[in-house]
Structure 1
Amino acid sequence: MRDSTRSGREENNETTTVDRRTVLKGLGATALVGPVAATGSTVAQSVTVIEVEETLLGGFEADGPLPVVDELFVFVHGWFGDTTVRSQANNVLGSVEAGGYTPDAAVAIEWPATNFWYPSAESDTEDVGAEVARLIEEYSDSGGGNVRLTGHSLGGRIVYWAATSIGSGYTIDTIGGMGTAADGSTVCPLGQWHSGIADNAGTVRNYHSQNDTTVGSAYGGIGDTALGTEGAPCDGASNYTDVDVTSSVGGHLEYLGDSQVGSDLASVILND
């Protein structure tokens, strides 16, 4: 939602980054995605899939606009999640609707994440996030209302990049990162996403679980944390909250459709 009253660290340790990416390459694709089974949740809204594809000149472009409604729910998948994006989105949406929130429309962003070279997929999240930000700007300019943006794993990176990339004067009303594949320091005062979260987002909830060993084995390190496992190692922006769902989420894929995640996110939205 456009708000004219609002103004619009990750430390790069080369050795740590290379080690992290080597670990992820060795894990294989199923470590961060694996099979996604349907939870049986019945959702009130059908999910519209919008594809974001790489262009011939570089960058990414969506194949259509966001539907213009008063309340819009958007989900972004992670690594290899493009093969099951609709079922993932339905699972997350079902848990949020079970918590009492039903949007006017729901969208799943499908991006080309089927890439066995994980560092490339990780790098693409910045450009995909910029395209998601552009979609939200266009949506707002067309008269759209509140945007509830959620993302899992690398999709969590995308939603935080969207907040960082979106133009001054635009607001992403709610952001929910689930098992985000990133270092915790990215949301700290010197981190790459801190200012975007502080200036361009309403309420931000970062869901993490100590049982998410997939993210925990690949991110963090000395003096840092894995954002999707332990949350941030610092106090983030005033609108940012780490939400520990260890008691409910038993692994990296279990955020999708989890009742505690859905209930908390719905409560935040309903009290907005």
Structure 2
Amino acid sequence: MPSNGYPNSTARNSASTDDGSVSRRRLLGTAATAVVTGAGLSAASGSAAAEPDEIMEIDFRDGVPDVTDAPQNEAEVVFKIHGYTSSSASVERAATFRDTARAVGYDGAVTAVTWDDSGLPSSAMQRARDTGDPFAVWLADYTDANPSTTIRLLGHSMGGIVQLETLAAIDGAFTVATADSIGSFAASDAPCGDGAFFDAIRASAGTVHNYYSTNDGVARLGSGPADCGGWFGDGTTPDNYDDVDVSDSVSNHSAYRAETGCVSAIVDNY
């Protein structure tokens, strides 16, 4: 569903450069080419195709994984990013979302994205931020190998930080269809005009949704709509960004992925 001029179907590569400087966008493209050398051939042949409901996992704890660690040649893939202290249960968390999505009629592939969330919250938050760059590199390769696949990101809790940092690292080099969060632990002003991710949301995704619950006592951005009302804020979010209240179905920070009311709202926007 196109929105405000941003494509939301297939992730698209872009070779545009605005000037002669060595931009982050150009560096991303160079790094993406270097990371995986043989994955494109395997993807094109379909040799790593997943079973229809298999939860594959791309694990960034030991570096950038192979492109073939994710489903190949799918119509669309939801990349489910776990939150704090959930790396060991990343596949299980993704499977819960998949099962709920199946119950409300969604049949797209779901893949677990695993990052290093060990240690204290402060150090885990830094690693969530640091995961954005390698995930963006990986996605660039994945979209090259799977040019017809619709890419959707869904980050829970600190996974919402990974989600936004990935958009920042993509930096408009291509777009993903949707980049959503549930119970996001990103800062409450992150999507705002004077926040850290306004430009990244606008440039790197078709649509971005913050599914929030006022019953969530853990989340920051995910406990309510974006807070753009600071002393120096301009009160705006990007045209392709929406806050979605799922409080009626989500009673706590861990309930989003298992509640049909919340997951229905998510897939209705796919």
Instruction: Give the TM-score normalised by structure 2.
Output: 0.75
Matches within 5 A, 1:84-95: 84-95=89-100
Q: Any idea what the Cα deviations from partners look like across 1:67-105, whole Å, max 9, x if unmatched?
A: 3323111101011111211111011122223232211x3
Indicate which of 35, 42, 47 corresponds to 2:55.
47
Matches within 5 A, 1:79-228: 79-103=84-108, 105-115=109-119, 117-144=120-147, 145-215=149-219, 226-228=220-222
Q: How far is 1:189 from its partner? A: 0.8
Separation in 2, partners of 1:7, 1:245: 40
Q: Any idea what the Cα deviations from partners look like across 1:105-138, whole Å, max 9, x if unmatched?
A: 32101112132x1111001112212222111111
Q: How far is 1:44 from its partner? A: 5.6
Separation in 2, partners of 1:168, 1:246: 32
Flag structure 2 segments of 5+ consecutive residues without an equivalent.
1-10, 19-50, 229-235
1:229 — aligned with what? 223
Matches within 5 A, 1:14-29: none
Which structure would you say has the larger RCO, counting Cα contacts within 8 Å and 6 or more residues apart? 1
Separation in 1, partners of 2:176, 2:67: 19
Report the AA paired with residue 133 of structure 2: A
Matches within 5 A, 1:233-272: 233-234=227-228, 235-269=236-270
* CA pair 63-6 structure 1, distance change in 2 beyond 3 A: closer
* CA pair 143-256 structure 1, distance change in 2 beyond 3 A: closer
Instruction: Give the TM-score normalised by structure 1.
Output: 0.74
Give 3-state SS (helix, strand or coil) of 1:171's partner: strand
Q: How far is 1:64 from its partner? A: 4.9
Report the AA paired with residue 213 of structure 1: G
Report the AA paired with residue 138 of structure 2: L
Give the total of aligned pairs.
218
Tell whether the 8 Å contact from 2:116 to 2:128 is kept in structure 1 after alignment.
no
Separation in 2, partners of 1:242, 1:5: 31
1:67 aligns with 2:74: no
Tell whether the 8 Å contact from 1:137 to 1:167 is kept in structure 2 after alignment.
no
Give 3-state SS (helix, strand or coil) of 1:233's partner: coil
* CA pair 168-199 structure 1, distance change in 2 beyond 3 A: closer
Q: Any idea what the Cα deviations from partners look like across 1:3-48, whole Å, max 9, x if unmatched?
A: 549999xxxxxxxxxxxxxxxxxxxxxxxxxxxxxxxxxx961100
Give 3-state SS (helix, strand or coil) of 2:237's partner: coil
Tell whether the 8 Å contact from 2:115 to 2:128 is kept in structure 1 after alignment.
no
Separation in 1, partners of 2:227, 2:17: 26
* CA pair 157-236 structure 1, distance change in 2 beyond 3 A: same
* CA pair 255-160 structure 1, distance change in 2 beyond 3 A: same
Separation in 2, partners of 1:201, 1:190: 19
Q: How far is 1:254 from its partner? A: 0.5
Q: How far is 1:167 from its partner? A: 4.5
2:82 — aligned with what? 77
1:39 — aligned with what? none
Flag structure 1 segments of 5+ consecutive residues without an equivalent.
9-42, 55-59, 216-225
Separation in 1, partners of 2:15, 2:247: 37
Separation in 2, partners of 1:133, 1:240: 20
